[in-house]
Homo-oligomer: A and B are copies of this chain.
Amino acid sequence: MANPRIAIDAMGGDYGPSIVVPGAIEAARAQICDLLLVGDKNAVGVELRKYDTSGLEVTVVHASQVVEMREKPSEILRRKKDSSIQVACQLVKDGLADGVVSAGNSGATVACGMFVLGRIPGVERPALAGILFTEKSSMVLIDVGANVDCKPFHLFQFGLMADVFAKDVLGVHRPRVGLLSIGEEEGKGNVQVKEAFDLFKLSSLNFVGNVEGRDIFTGNVDVVVCDGFVGNVALKLSEGLGASLTRIFRKEISGGLLPRIGQALLQGAIDKFTRLVDYAEYGGAPLLGLQGIGIVCHGVSNVKAIKSAVVMAATFVEKKANQHLIEELSANEELTRFGKAVKY
């Protein structure tokens, strides 16, 4: 079998090729894949020469345009056809790559993923999955911002997609899938969630029912489904609490020697907690449901985050996750038809 081929937006992120190039190279050493580094060939070349790439398949694909952080996705799609992110997506579309990783403008990455790569037949709405560490392992929160106004049927498909991801990429045997609501009992929640509950209940998924905000980080569930508005609020709230924790500790520690010693002695616990809420740790958020795969990284991604994201993309391709998704959609076809037919 051919190696997974990952197209990487080398110009993306706050630090561009200086971070993206070494991150990608580290990934290819950890998980076999061919790299297509997309961006200004001179800038990428300068970075590339700094590293040993012996034994790796690395190709530089020139792109003359760069997307800025504040540009609107719709504008980018129309006017920046030769931008590194759009060229990277086009490589997948043309069958020259299997997946895309970008730490650039998130809105642009999602838009290019959706409109250039296109959806898997049967998937109504691609969704962005947040991979979070919990006290025990990792879990998938889906959707974290690609779809803010969702129908129950969309939530159901998010669950199917995240289930496949958890199996193939996180290696969870039979993922426990929960629906984010405001009470554990059936019948709790808003209209959207109550209707989605029925679809989940009848599905082939290992559905554990409603879960609450407090269950996300316990590690007792592998997939938590919600609409992109709720998921985005939840993700950013977690990040915000993590940032508050960091600020509080920093302030305390700057107060003197004793707290500094305290910090050193408790570093293990502090690191564990920080990991729970540090989005940069997870590499990136996969956009699921595309023909191919797109991984959306934080703008502030460091080398480790880029590496994790490229490894994630390569694993996704190597495990044939999209093939499994098509099978899962097919196994739940009747519910899908039913879900689409119902008017909410």
Contacts and interface: CB of A to CB of B under 8 A. Distances in A.
A214 interface: yes
Interface string A199-233: 00000000000001111111000000011111011
Given A217-B244, A243-B214, A262-B265, A233 B236 contact: no
Nearest to A190: B148
Interface of A: 134-135, 145, 148-149, 180-182, 189-191, 193, 212-218, 226-230, 232-241, 243-245, 247-249, 251-253, 258-259, 261-266, 268-269, 272-273, 276-277
6 contacts: A145-B182, A214-B237, A217-B237, A229-B230, A234-B234, A263-B265
Contacts of A262: 261-266
B241 A269 contact: no
Contacts of A214: 236-237, 239-240, 243
Contacts of A134: 244
A249 B269 contact: yes
A241 B170 CA distance: 22
A148 B259 contact: no
A213 B228 contact: no
Given A135-B244, A182-B148, A276-B244, A237 B239 contact: no
Nearest to A260: B265
B182 A247 contact: no
A187 to B, nearest CB: 11
A217 B240 contact: yes
B272 A248 contact: yes
A239 B213 contact: yes
A216 B237 contact: yes
A147 to B, nearest CB: 9
Contacts of A252: 266, 268-269, 272
Given A148-B182, A248-B269, A261-B261, 12 more contacts: A134-B244, A182-B229, A182-B233, A190-B229, A238-B241, A241-B277, A245-B273, A248-B272, A249-B266, A249-B273, A261-B262, A265-B265
Nearest to A258: B265
B217 A241 contact: yes
A233 B217 CA distance: 13
